[in-house]
């Protein structure tokens, strides 16, 4: 999902931020010619995501790195599972370790959380979506992790689709005015989604012919009633539910008729997976 040149630029920036001038601990304690081999080990159960990112992080400091993945993206692994084997110059591996692990742990954590939400709505017509609630600079990594966890990606940037929210509605003079202005201002074929927080706004959005209605911060009962009203008018209308989604309650929204459920917590409240790099001298 990340072009190679863009990925390298980001990883170099992350490495520069972490290293500063030099890794004085590694350079002063590890012999220059020392070689090491080791394993990336999952210390907690997780869904795998980000191994190629970790590999590339190490390779930027150790171009001759030997790296063999032992688990596939999207695979659920148990604690103490070896995710990858690697070998190369010890100093380079140690210096890249923290950045590689930070990204790998975050991506596996996101993929694991996503899988739990996906499993919670299994058997319904609902898909779990991410949001733009990502840390600046990490969105591409976060979106890849959501996909590895079985989720779907919402819009990546503001340029991809129209999503009219509460402030847009107020500043544009209401749902109908905002939708009309959007239709005048964007090319044909661009999706238009409108967030609604009242039944009158729902009816206005449906009448305006939007592609997706986003029902925000409502109970499952309200979502069910509004979805029924909207689909009596337009049976194929896509209904998205959002707002403080938690694992224990998400299935109720799926059963209420939402076919898209966006979960900001997938990326804004990441619980990193526990993964370690275990090294030993090689030869």
Active site residues: 98, 133, 165, 195, 216
Per 3-state DSSP, the chain is made up of helix, strand and coil in percentages (nearest 5) of 45, 20, 35
Structure letter (DSSP) for residue 173: T
As a whole number of angstroms, the distance between CA 203 and CA 191 comes to: 18
- DSSP E strands in the chain: the ranges are 35-42, 46-47, 66-69, 76-77, 81-89, 127-129, 162-164, 192-196, 212-216, 238-242, 260-262, 275-281
Residues sharing a CB contact under 8 Å with residue 278, sequence separation 6 or more, in sequence order: 38, 39, 41
Residues sharing a CB contact under 8 Å with residue 3, sequence separation 6 or more, in sequence order: none
Residues sharing a CB contact under 8 Å with residue 109, sequence separation 6 or more, in sequence order: 46, 145, 270, 271, 272, 273
């Amino acid at each position: 999902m990340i072009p190679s040149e863009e990925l390298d630029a980001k990883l170099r920036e992350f490495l520069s931020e972490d290293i500063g001038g030099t890794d004085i601990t590694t350079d002063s304690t590890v012999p220059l010619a020392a070689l090491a081999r080791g394993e990336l080990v999952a210390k907690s159960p997780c869904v795998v995501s980000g191994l190629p990112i970790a590999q590339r992080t190490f390779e930027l400091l150790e171009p001759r790195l030997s790296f063999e993945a032992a688990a596939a993206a999207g695979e659920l692994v148990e604690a103490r599972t070896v995710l990858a084997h690697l070998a190369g110059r010890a100093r380079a591996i140690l210096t890249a370790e923290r950045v590689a692990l930070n990204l790998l742990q975050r991506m596996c954590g996101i993929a694991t959380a996503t899988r739990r939400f996906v499993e919670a709505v299994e058997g319904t017509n609902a898909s779990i979506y991410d949001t733009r609630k990502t840390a600046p600079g990490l969105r591409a990594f976060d979106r890849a992790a959501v996909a590895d966890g079985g989720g779907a990606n919402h819009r990546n940037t503001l340029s991809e689709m129209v999503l009219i929210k509460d402030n847009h509605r107020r500043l544009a003079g209401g749902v109908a005015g905002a939708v009309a202005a959007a239709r005048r201002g964007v090319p044909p074929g661009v999706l238009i989604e409108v967030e609604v927080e009242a039944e009158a706004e729902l009816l206005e959005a449906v009448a305006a012919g939007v592609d997706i209605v986003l029902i925000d911060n409502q109970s499952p009962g309200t979502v069910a009633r509004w979805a029924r009203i909207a689909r009596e008018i337009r049976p194929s209308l896509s209904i998205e539910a959002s707002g403080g989604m938690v694992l224990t309650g998400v299935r109720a929204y799926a059963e209420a008729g939402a076919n898209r459920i966006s979960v900001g917590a997938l990326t804004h409240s990441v619980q990193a997976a526990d993964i370690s790099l275990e090294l030993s001298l090689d030869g």
